[in-house]
Structure 1
């Protein structure tokens, strides 16, 4: 019984960690006139953090100078 309880606690801990990680992620929808540096300034407080947004969205962005209106970008946690 104790082993089953330990497994269940471990499973719950992993689920809570996953939820916490998901909660840290934010989604930003690109608007006309946006750039990664502008989004970084507005969302992360520092335009020079644009590479963090680029890294978090490499599956969606091939060229950091080319983003599209309506594109949904994941914004990393601003805990830096």
Structure 2
């Protein structure tokens, strides 16, 4: 084992060329975007009152208590559970 040769890197050199051409920057001047906000979906807003349920709100505002799912979907950013709405919460009522 004493006769094993090890690699000799003593003659290795390296060079970094900092004057290398830099890649051109991306041109985003022609890029446009559109943000679809929930305001376009919502017809009106409603503040939850004590005793309200999504079914009751749907019946009052959409004429169909079964439309509570539409209200829930329009408010997923505010509501995690359709059975847990709190007085004072402002909900979007979809058109």
* Global fold match (TM > 0.5): yes
Equivalence for 1:74? 92
Whole-angstrom distance in 2 between the partners of 1:54 and 1:32: 18
Q: Does 1:54 align with 2:41?
A: no
Greater C-alpha Rg = 2
Alignment of 1:4-43 (within 5 A): 22=40, 25-43=43-61
**2:45 match: secondary structure:** strand
Q: CA deviation at 1:25?
A: 2.1
TM-score (norm 2): 0.57
User: Which range moves more in the overlay, 23-32 or 45-54?
Assistant: 23-32
Whole-angstrom distance in 1 between the partners of 2:42 and 2:70: 14
Large movers: runs of 4+ above 6 Å? none
Aligned residues: 58
Structure 1 gap ranges (5+): 1-17
Whole-angstrom distance in 2 between the partners of 1:23 and 1:56: 8
Whole-angstrom distance in 1 between the partners of 2:73 and 2:41: 18
**2:78 match: secondary structure:** coil
